[in-house]
Structure 1
């Protein structure tokens, strides 16, 4: 038996963060070097088994479930090199790809550096955060992968391959959103910038006021989020800008950030889910008033100044299902009005209830697709808005609309992607019914030019699912909220990009080492049934 196989654990049980899905892999590995990763891939190929790489497990779906070999890169967490630009405005930092973002952030802070943009959390690994298309909330910044200058992967043949805009460009575009199907990312170089602070405001506005200001709201703040509370008919608008001003003495207080508030909130949700669903709107209104107050404060929000990581990170609260889609931002009012109508009618008829907030964000995921990634630093300072990109390439499986690129000083709504995130909590890890709500949500998002986020609990349709056709499954064969799949839709949506992704996958993994999470991959058309 290979020495590397002897290091595998046989008694390991993996659960994702939300504890919705779990699996017992045949063997669980934590390699400590790139050489061990190479050895592990070659042994998997010889043994005709599959490898699945997992990080923090924050995806609420079954994307990273396997009963074969599971690999975690937490021990590949070293910083390899820091190459500072003479301007002092950015530095390219090379790391082993298993390092978690919070670990990287701690190192960068000591070096006077920072990541340019973040998603909602910092638990993910450097490899994992780009593998499903994680993004932030900004009209200037796009996918987190736009900050990556290069990647080093181990493919299914055990080869170590260096990828950047000039070397293996197509494979680089595939690996920037790989779903774990291209290879194991072992190193990455990320373009970081001088550490910065964010001056943010948080305002309560009505839902109608949000839609009235839609045309002018999105492009005037570097960082921006909206949390929509449909039963309260209100929203919370958070906006942030870079600043040199001193840090606030203390961050804002959070009611649900306290032990009592958090537990009470979860208990209210449990009652609404398990005993009396019509209680849900009352819970929302009560929690909104406790957390944000009952008075509209639009135009009069107080300011808070914190380090960038503190400002951009969010409290995800409880275990949850999440269904998130991206669509053109210009279609936002149509989408939100449709969702509002459906939510209100469902409550009147006691068909379903939604949890809050429904998160509304935007990103600038337009690309020039230029090979040269030399940044233009003209007139730029340490607090200038906008990215210093690590690459200008659109990942092959980027789910956002293909919109026309515009320079930073000329960005309009027509260049922006809208993200809408429908979260349904699982209070004390009990399931909430999601099938009816997510079906309506997906119909409205799909009709408005949307596509689902790869890591989330999208459901789909038996008519689109490749797996249901293979197994002859019907609607009645699925439990509430179970993924049915988007196979034919993904072929329609991604077209030649998906075909190129599949071609590159087969070339780099001819023996199917990374054909794990089989059902998920087949039902969504990422791999073909005949590959197995």
Structure 2
């Protein structure tokens, strides 16, 4: 079966933020497993690389290629739903090109829901697994923690099944693969009965956030903070499962057509005409959206379905640099970043955009087979109980979060939690903002506190740590990635070597080694 003739020519792919684009030689959208297997065989015989892309929400250039580009939007059926007799979870098998928003609709029709979500639902199932997507919770970890098993087509054209107890090494590699060991074609997701989230949104000062740090992060099942450095305030969002009826959604100033345009126009002026205007914009927008008064313990309350509650409005095109570090190091990190932001503004060196998003996750694991623990997890559980019914207890080889000691959910403290800090810089009306100076300081601060970057974001690194072809420092564009090859070997150690072994075994001819310079710079090959 030849599928080369199904490929589109002259197709231009751009990621969501329009930071990067490419013109692949051929663009494919297979709709059957046979077509995917044949496509891998054809790529191998033609000495072409294959790169699989979903929604393109990653702002990185990891998914840029001049060879063959594959999109699985047409491979998106629900295959099976297996309900546990307890009624407390169901394992749902889907074709992995399905987008999250499509999955949400199917699950809702069955009275089910995903247990935890990231900020958006545009990504494909394969995409959220392959990039280490996470939410914001002291009980839940990476979204891949919900995965029971995977099926992939490797570089040899073989259809490979893997799970906690079958091909475990392949499973651990595939749970955060960056698309480099094969094409994920099927995934079984452990879902739970549909639930609503009762949330509160409090305005707190930066000092209040740090004062409450020790107890704040275990105070609710879902939790996130948006920090506005120039306003010296934060928004604390906390949510928990509830059976209460839904309420009218909160009003959003920037959610209106006028507010959104006005905000983006102000940012464009600051970026392109007068950067010192940035702090005033932040203060104005914060007051319009959240008000001026601190509301600790008395925030606005809302009840919504899980998807509406856990997803958020990402606003405009943006650069994103996100790192993970031990949560206990948070106050030190934030104090250091606050100082750097204030000094830079005083000297007119650079300005940051807001919010700086602060989240936590529980990425500790036992590295045990899921089947041995699931019955223990559901004992005494109700449909509104906090925490996960895990699909697996394995840590992906390329998990960038710190290795912390596991503890039962009842004993979780800050010591078990990963801190995520997300430094977003907007691109108003798709014009670039300067990011180099800010991101350099951000990375130095996070690295010194035991942090590592999110693989699929706009990290920069250093020519000192990168490998492969390098340029003189003055030749790099603002914010252009250098890489982290030597640091990644130090950070990931044997886990990186194990990933590379699996990658070589599953793809000996390099069918999935697209974006090769990126992989070399970061030590994947």
TM-score range, shorter chain: over 0.9
Who is 1:312 aligned against? Answer: 310
**Alignment partners' CA distance in 2, 1:475 and 1:411:** 45
Compared CA separation, residues 472 and 89, structure 1 to 2 (3 A): closer
Deviation at 1:518, TM superposition (A): 1.2
**Alignment partners' CA distance in 1, 2:303 and 2:473:** 50
Q: 3-state DSSP class of the match of 1:421? A: strand
**Alignment partners' CA distance in 2, 1:189 and 1:434:** 39
Who is 2:43 aligned against? Answer: 44
Who is 1:458 aligned against? Answer: 459
Alignment pair present for 1:229 and 2:208: no
**Alignment partners' CA distance in 1, 2:168 and 2:28:** 30
Deviation at 1:327, TM superposition (A): 0.1
Alignment pair present for 1:390 and 2:397: no
**Alignment partners' CA distance in 1, 2:195 and 2:418:** 25
Who is 2:171 aligned against? Answer: 172
Who is 1:497 aligned against? Answer: 495
Q: 3-state DSSP class of the match of 2:385? A: coil
Who is 1:475 aligned against? Answer: 473
Alignment pair present for 1:283 and 2:284: no
Deviation at 1:445, TM superposition (A): 0.2
**Alignment partners' CA distance in 1, 2:7 and 2:470:** 37
Alignment pair present for 1:441 and 2:439: no
Who is 1:512 aligned against? Answer: 510
| Residue pairs, 1:52-63, within 5 angstroms | 52-63=51-62
Who is 2:335 aligned against? Answer: 337
Alignment pair present for 1:260 and 2:258: yes
Compared CA separation, residues 214 and 33, structure 1 to 2 (3 A): same
Kept in 1, the 8 Å contact 2:245–2:303? The answer is yes
Kept in 1, the 8 Å contact 2:199–2:302? The answer is yes
Deviation at 1:302, TM superposition (A): 2.3
Kept in 1, the 8 Å contact 2:145–2:390? The answer is yes
Alignment pair present for 1:124 and 2:123: yes
**Alignment partners' CA distance in 2, 1:364 and 1:443:** 24
Q: 3-state DSSP class of the match of 1:466? A: coil
Aligned residues: 522
Deviation at 1:487, TM superposition (A): 0.4
**Alignment partners' CA distance in 2, 1:216 and 1:60:** 34
Q: 3-state DSSP class of the match of 2:3? A: helix
| Residue pairs, 1:517-528, within 5 angstroms | 517-527=515-525
Who is 2:67 aligned against? Answer: 68
Who is 1:79 aligned against? Answer: 78
The alignment yields a C-alpha RMSD, in angstroms, of 0.7
**Alignment partners' CA distance in 1, 2:388 and 2:473:** 45
**Alignment partners' CA distance in 2, 1:346 and 1:421:** 19
**Alignment partners' CA distance in 1, 2:273 and 2:168:** 54
Who is 1:425 aligned against? Answer: 426
Who is 1:399 aligned against? Answer: 400
**Alignment partners' CA distance in 1, 2:470 and 2:136:** 41
Q: 3-state DSSP class of the match of 1:285? A: helix
**Alignment partners' CA distance in 1, 2:297 and 2:513:** 52
Alignment pair present for 1:158 and 2:157: yes
**Alignment partners' CA distance in 2, 1:395 and 1:77:** 24
User: Can you list the C-alpha shifts for 1:353-397, whole angstroms capped at 9, x where unaligned?
Assistant: 000000000000000001143412111000000000000000000
The unaligned stretches of length 5 or more in structure 2 are none
User: Can you list the C-alpha shifts for 1:41-100, whole angstroms capped at 9, x where unaligned?
Assistant: 011011111000000000001010000000000011000000000111100000000000
**Alignment partners' CA distance in 2, 1:433 and 1:303:** 37
The unaligned stretches of length 5 or more in structure 1 are 528-532
Who is 1:194 aligned against? Answer: 193
Q: 3-state DSSP class of the match of 1:185? A: strand
User: Can you list the C-alpha shifts for 1:464-508, whole angstroms capped at 9, x where unaligned?
Assistant: 0112xxx24221121000000000000000011101111111111
Who is 1:114 aligned against? Answer: 113
Runs of 4+ in structure 1 off by over 4 angstroms are: none
Q: 3-state DSSP class of the match of 1:310? A: helix
Kept in 1, the 8 Å contact 2:463–2:470? The answer is no
**Alignment partners' CA distance in 1, 2:288 and 2:470:** 49
| Residue pairs, 1:211-230, within 5 angstroms | 211-230=210-229
**Alignment partners' CA distance in 1, 2:369 and 2:83:** 21
Deviates more, 1:129-138 or 1:372-381: 372-381
Deviation at 1:259, TM superposition (A): 0.3
Q: 3-state DSSP class of the match of 1:3? A: coil
Q: 3-state DSSP class of the match of 1:283? A: helix
Which TM-score applies when normalising by structure 1? 0.98
**Alignment partners' CA distance in 2, 1:364 and 1:228:** 21
Who is 2:34 aligned against? Answer: 35
